[in-house]
């Protein structure tokens, strides 16, 4: 079993290659005016784990392919994921991402100083820039996927199949999951159970991880058949791991270190998000405790004292430990999907990736 340090070094190597490719291929898009360029590129400058591109490259190697062939797709999925973060930060009203200001927050501040706008006007400007930055990133992603054919000489049918799957299948699933996440926060906690939340996570997070594995395997095999047995096995493995990844994210949103995470801890509770730890705590609560939970969740931005009580209650009720066990089960089931693949260094990397997802603290 590869150590976490050794695994992260392997991820860092892939991140460096993807970052270099993105810098080289910025010419695909005309990032103008300057505010759009700065907004579209800002999250890349702040770093990030780049797990999705790494697993795409690992999947390519696991079926016998060359990583270099899949580099445009790895870059594309990093850009795709980044635009979802830009828009997700708007939805969640988060001011921090990767230790820096979110796009909408950065340009809200800029509008205050440059244009001397009112607070309301500055907020609107920040939102406008962030929405447009996400839009242009999505266009950039399509151009990067077309590089599979134009620069790597792969069959155009393969590039088109990946574009179609990402833009129609994954895109629809992700937006469904995002809106479910918003809508669940508007419903009484008693009406949202673990099955609902897991379905939302599968759509919001699992779908893109699944696509990363699928794309890497299809490129490695040189096929546009998304139902090839190895493609399907890796897609389902990655989707299951993606769900586990989100479960760990929900845990870190309660007990994580904000400096390590680079984003606010407790924002899910602030926004009333329905998560597995919260749903479990609700099920374990007494009538009086449920009343207090409802009171805290019924307020937009509950005061710090209520958030601290809710955080402590989720931990004491076993919500965090229950979610950890669920994430471990997800990974164990996902690993079963990899059995048809031959032993290789790349298969070991996929296994290490799965283990890392539920052990990470950032």
Q: Is the pLDDT of residue 37 over 90?
A: yes
The answer to whether the CB of 72 falls within 8 A of the CB of 144 is yes
Q: What is the pLDDT of residue 114?
A: 97
Q: Which of 71, 33, 77, 69 is nearest to 51 (CA)?
A: 77
Q: Is the pLDDT of residue 1 over 80?
A: no
d(CA 52, CA 211): 9
Residue 337 lies in a domain: yes
The answer to whether the CB of 219 falls within 8 A of the CB of 319 is no
**Domain that includes residue 305, residue range:** 4-357
Angle (CA) 113-118-122 rounded to 5° is 65
The answer to whether the CB of 234 falls within 8 A of the CB of 59 is yes
d(CA 156, CA 333): 34
Residue 311 lies in a domain: yes
Number of independent structural domains in the chain: 1
Residue 53 lies in a domain: yes
Residue 166 host element (H or E): none
207-221 pLDDT tens trace: 999 999 999 999 999
Residue 231 lies in a domain: yes
312-352 pLDDT tens trace: 999 999 999 999 999 999 999 999 999 999 999 999 999 99
Q: Is the pLDDT of residue 48 over 80?
A: yes
Residue 362 lies in a domain: no
Q: What is the mean pLDDT of the chain?
A: 95
Q: What is the pLDDT of residue 141?
A: 98
All residues at 6 or more sequence positions from 30 whose CB lies less than 8 Å from its CB, including other chains: none
Bridge partners of 96? Answer: 101
Indicate the pLDDT class of residue 270, thresholds 50, 70 and 90. Answer: confident
Q: Is the pLDDT of residue 299 over 80?
A: no
Q: What is the pLDDT of residue 164?
A: 98
15-29 pLDDT tens trace: 999 999 999 999 999
d(CA 150, CA 124): 39
Gap between the terminal Cα atoms of the chain: 21
Q: What is the pLDDT of residue 269?
A: 86
Q: Is the pLDDT of residue 261 over 80?
A: no
Q: What are phi and psi of 228, to 5 degrees?
A: -55, 140
Residue 238 lies in a domain: yes
Q: Which of 141, 271, 265, 276 is nearest to 205 (CA)?
A: 276
Q: Is the pLDDT of residue 298 over 90?
A: no
153-209 pLDDT tens trace: 999 999 999 999 999 999 999 999 999 999 999 999 999 999 999 999 999 999 999
Residue with tokens 């299948």: 169
5: buried, middle or exposed (CB in 10 Å: 19+, 13-18, 0-12)?
exposed
Q: For residue 227, give both structure tokens.
A: 């139902």
Residue 264 lies in a domain: yes
Residue 160 lies in a domain: yes
Q: What is the CATH number of the domain that holds 32?
A: 1.10.600.10
Q: Is the pLDDT of residue 285 over 90?
A: yes
């Amino acid at each position: 079993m590869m150590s976490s340090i050794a695994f992260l070094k392997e991820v860092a190597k892939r991140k460096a290659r993807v970052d270099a490719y993105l810098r080289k291929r910025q010419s695909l898009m005309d990032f103008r005016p300057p505010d759009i360029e700065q907004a579209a590129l800002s999250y890349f400058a702040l770093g990030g784990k780049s797990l999705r591109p790494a697993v795409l490259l690992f999947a390519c190697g696991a079926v016998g392919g060359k990583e270099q062939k899949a580099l445009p797709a790895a870059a594309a999925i990093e850009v795709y994921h980044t635009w979802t973060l830009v828009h997700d930060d708007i939805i969640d009203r988060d001011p921090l991402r990767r230790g820096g200001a979110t796009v909408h927050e950065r340009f809200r501040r800029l509008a205050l100083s440059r244009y001397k706008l009112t607070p309301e006007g500055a907020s609107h400007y920040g939102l406008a820039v962030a929405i447009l930055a996400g839009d242009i990133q999505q266009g950039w992603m399509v151009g990067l996927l077309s590089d599979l054919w134009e620069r790597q000489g792969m069959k155009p049918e393969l590039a088109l199949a990946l574009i179609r799957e990402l833009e129609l299948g994954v895109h629809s699933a992700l937006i469904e999951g995002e809106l479910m996440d918003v809508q669940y926060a508007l419903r009484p906690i008693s009406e949202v159970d673990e099955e609902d939340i897991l379905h939302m996570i599968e759509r919001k997070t699992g779908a893109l991880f699944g696509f990363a594995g699928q794309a890497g395997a299809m490129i490695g095999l040189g096929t546009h058949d998304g139902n090839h047995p190895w493609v399907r096995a890796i897609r389902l493995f990655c989707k299951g791991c993606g769900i586990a990844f989100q479960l760990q994210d929900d845990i870190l949103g309660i007990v994580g270190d904000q400096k390590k995470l680079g984003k606010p801890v407790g924002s899910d509770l602030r926004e009333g998000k329905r998560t597995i730890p919260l749903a479990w705590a609700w099920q374990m609560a007494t009538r009086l405790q449920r009343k207090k939970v409802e009171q805290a969740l019924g307020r937009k931005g509950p005061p710090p004292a209520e958030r601290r009580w809710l955080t402590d209650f989720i931990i004491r009720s076993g919500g965090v430990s229950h979610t950890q066990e669920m994430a471990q089960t997800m990974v164990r089931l996902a690993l079963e999907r990899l059995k048809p693949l031959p032993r290789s260094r790349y298969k070991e990397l996929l296994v290490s990736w799965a283990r890392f997802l539920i052990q990470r603290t950032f």
